[in-house]
Amino acid sequence: MKSRIVSDSSCDLPINFLEKDDIDFSIVPLTIIVGDREFIDDETLDTKEFVAAMKACKTASQTACPSPEDFSAELRKNQETYVITITSGLSGTYNSARVAREMVLEENSDLKIGLFDSLSTSPFMILMIMKLRDFIKAGTMDFETICEKLTDYQKTLELRFILQDFSNLVKTGRMNRVAGVVASALSIFPICRSDEKGQIQVVEKVRGIKKVLSNFANMVEEKVLMQKQFPVVITHCNNPSQAQIVKDLLEKRFGLEEIYIYPMHGLTSYYSNDKGLLMAF
């Protein structure tokens, strides 16, 4: 019987991502409330329309995580299932998946369900899903070993991101309005990271888009010294051109060969805002 990988919509992958790999794949969507509108973060969401609605709305937007029932419906489908969620530091999604896992295992203790809090989002989750796919396809490890190996792999990954639009941070109270205006006016862009506990930290603040993209690409330098080749995933919010610039810099400066670019869906766009860039490696 096929294995199944389950994630939430912050993974920013298309639903057919594993179609050629003989692995079942489910994406459980989150919901974003903007004013009096609800956006379901599934394959029907128009990200540009959603981001425009966020910009136009004068009040803070909100997110709603999937229910345990949303997850449990997917967890019952296969004998072996692996679940990877957005960091529990930003969303209740992991907790919903945990409750669902307990419910389903009470019904059928013969099922095997591995649950992983990514402590991150988007490109970081994509790398975990890619590695999990490789483990499953190899067919050389049992369920428990795959879970152990994926946990070990997760510890080697890094996330960096650039914010270019601060309007949503100001609306949600995460950034002072004056600071947001000053940062935008002076073209100051923070490069941030997610630490091992899933908390957000500012790595540096850079003035000018050309320099920030250059510095962003250089974030992989330390890892390159230890490991010549490794996959990199870049996700973007309505910003394919700058994502491509970063990809080109990574190839030219460091000779990296396995670089993937994906557009963000709704949930990651909510947090990163318009033109945001995320990179995991």
Q: In the chain, where are the structural domains located?
A: 4-30+65-154, 159-280
Beta bridge mates, 39: 32
Mean pLDDT to the nearest integer, 140-161: 98
Range with lowest mean pLDDT among 63-77, 126-140, 169-183, 263-277: 169-183
What average pLDDT does the structure give for the chain?
92
Mean pLDDT to the nearest integer, 158-170: 81
What is the rounded distance in angstroms from the CA atom of residue 21 to the CA atom of residue 161? 30
Q: What is the pTM of this model?
A: 0.93
For domain 159-280, the CATH class is alpha beta
Rg over CA atoms, the chain: 19
pLDDT at 202: 81
Quickly state the pLDDT bin for 169 (edges 50, 70, 90).
Answer: low
Residue that wins the pLDDT comparison between 81 and 186: 81
Model confidence pLDDT, tens digit, residues 67-101: 999 999 999 999 999 999 999 988 999 999 999 99
| CATH homologous superfamily, domain 4-30+65-154 | Dihydroxyacetone kinase; domain 1 (3.40.50.10440)
Nearest to 235 by CA among 125, 117, 155, 138: 125
Q: Is 201 helix (H, G, I), strand (E, B) or coil?
A: strand
pLDDT at 171: 64
Q: Does 166 score more than 70 pLDDT? A: no
Nearest to 76 by CA among 118, 24, 31, 117: 24
Q: Does 241 score more than 50 pLDDT? A: yes
Read off the DSSP letter of residue 253: H
Quickly state the pLDDT bin for 177 (edges 50, 70, 90).
Answer: very low
What is the rounded distance in angstroms from the CA atom of residue 212 to the CA atom of residue 196? 24
Model confidence pLDDT, tens digit, residues 101-116: 999 999 999 999 999 9
Percent of the chain with pLDDT over 90: 80
